[in-house]
Amino acid sequence: MNEDVLSLRDISKTYNSGKPNEVQVLRGASLDIERGEVVALVAPSGAGKSTLLHIAGLLDTPDTGTVTIDGVDMTRLGDHARTSARRGQIGFVYQFHHLLPEFSALENVILPQLANAVPASQAESRARDLLARVGVEARAEHRPAALSGGEQQRVAFCRALANAPSLLLADEPTGNLDPGTSDQVFAALMGLVRDTGLSALIATHNLELARRMDRVVRMDEGAITQH
């Protein structure tokens, strides 16, 4: 059996705990993702999938449960070690691209690598290679405002993969795009993931896209069920 890149065990999360307006978002959610596996997370808005992604990506901490990435229990690490793991082992893609507007597409993919102490020449070479893989190499010197929505999101994918993470987390990555562009952009994302052997957890409302992944899981009352 393949090694699990991500293992979530009995994750619970409550906001405003102990107050009249407390909301229990996650109730013992558990999920394992093997190396190279792409898993779709399907749930209605407000079901807690974004909270689950934030916890899996070490942007938030669970009230109970463990988050294990590449065999390491991240819930036992201090802030510095968690930040280092988040920068080097995890890539994030959101519904909106969140590219830095004052920098070019190329620079947006270079910058995360420089923050991770990658030499500038190596960072530029990898950035150009990633942009070429998703078909936007000709737009490398353009700033985000000069790119189409689909191009912006392709650049966001490249930025997420810039530091060669082992895990990709994506929250509705094609949610802001029209159906035709969404299909093309999703194909570009899947091509990148397959080429690099990434594991990925992708939250989506689009059942057609979900079925193109290796496995579909659903959130139901704060827990995860197999589809």
Residue 84 lies in a domain: yes
Residue 12 lies in a domain: no
Q: What is the mean pLDDT of the chain?
A: 88
pLDDT for position 128: 95
> Could you report the per-residue pLDDT of 85-135, keeping only the tens digit for each?
888 889 998 877 789 999 999 999 999 999 888 999 999 999 999 999 888
The gap from C-alpha 221 to its chain's centroid, in whole angstroms, comes to: 23
Residue 23, beta-bridge partner list: 15
Based on the structure, what is the number of domains in the chain? 1
Range of the domain at 91: 34-61+71-226
Residue 94 lies in a domain: yes
Residue 25 lies in a domain: no
Q: How many residues does the chain have?
A: 227
CATH number (domain holding residue 132): 3.40.50.300
> Please, are residues 39 and 170 in contact by the beta-carbon 8 Å criterion?
no
Residue 17 lies in a domain: no
Residue 89 lies in a domain: yes
Residue 126 lies in a domain: yes
pTM: 0.88
The Cα–Cα gap between 206 and 201 comes to 14
pLDDT for position 1: 44
Contact partners, residue 17, CB within 8 Å, separation at least 6: 63
Given a cut of 80, whether residue 175 has pLDDT beyond it is no
User: Which three-class secondary structure string do you get for the chain?
Assistant: CCCEEEEEEEEEEEECCCCCCCEEEEEEEEEEEECCCEEEEECCCCCCHHHHHHHHCCCCCCCEEEEEECCEEHHHCCHHHHHHHHHHHEEEECCCCCCCCCCCHHHHHHHHHHHCCCCHHHHHHHHHHHHHHCCCHHHCCCCHHHCCHHHHHHHHHHHHHCCCCCEEEEECCCCCCCHHHHHHHHHHHHHHHHHHCCEEEEECCCHHHHCCCCEEEEEECCEEEEC
Residue 15 lies in a domain: no
> Could you report the per-residue pLDDT of 127-168, keeping only the tens digit for each?
999 999 888 899 999 999 999 888 998 899 899 999 989 999
